[in-house]
Chain A
Amino acid sequence: DQQVKQNSPSLSVQEGRISILNCDYTNSMFDYFLWYKKYPAEGPTFLISISSIKDKNEDGRFTVFLNKSAKHLSLHIVPSQPGDSAVYFCAASALLTGNKLVFGAGTILRVKS
């Protein structure tokens, strides 16, 4: 049972344009959502997070949007840069289940220069 789904295995974007990575979840108990970025041969690194009491969180070029009614969140990267090329994992957790991180399968982002 995949509670966190990233339905796009890969995404290709031109440098300077917006990258939009999507994530859907099924567990309504999730109250904290995170995005991680992973380069080859490295561990995932934390990118940005959002609490369920918010619908938007922005950090520089990265913005995460949360639509609780649709159980959907998205990560916007603008403008996209070649160095953003990586695998992006969406993750979610629930306070009532011990805050365990549940990850999606990841989306490979390629930013073309």
Chain B
Amino acid sequence: DSGVTQTPKHLITATGQRVTLRCSPRSGDLSVYWYQQSLDQGLQFLIHYYNGEERAKGNILERFSAQQFPDLHSELNLSSLELGDSALYFCASSVASGTISGNTIYFGEGSWLTVV
């Protein structure tokens, strides 16, 4: 158990719909990262928040948005869903920002999103 909690674990929804994925970081971690893993793809970085502020953006679609709340939990909002959005979405957290030595990034178990 990494200490990073993601909900829901599985979600099936229709095209055009909107979903929210939730992440609670490890206690004491200020950074939250979101990654997408599609079939045949490695983990694709989406976005990084540190203590409530956006720090870095990756290949995140305009239909997707995220935020980190004062209690440090984060939500990833996916709207106007398409079939190609079906993927495993991972949240990760770390104490500090980025991949500096000693700043281990811990991953949650992921949220499986299936768009039908």
Contacts and interface: CB of A to CB of B under 8 A. Distances in A.
A89 B45 CA distance: 13
B98 interface: yes
Q: Which of A43, A44, A45, A91 has the most CB of B within 10 A?
A: A43
The secondary structure that dominates the B interface is loop
Contacts of B109: 41-43
Q: On chain B, which size bracket covers the interface?
A: 20 to 34
Interface string A1-14: 00010100000000
A80 interface: no
Interface string A52-70: 0000000000000000000
B26 to A, nearest CB: 12
A100 to B, nearest CB: 5
B115 to A, nearest CB: 20
Interface of B: 2, 4, 33, 35, 40-45, 48, 55-56, 58, 90, 92, 97-101, 104-110
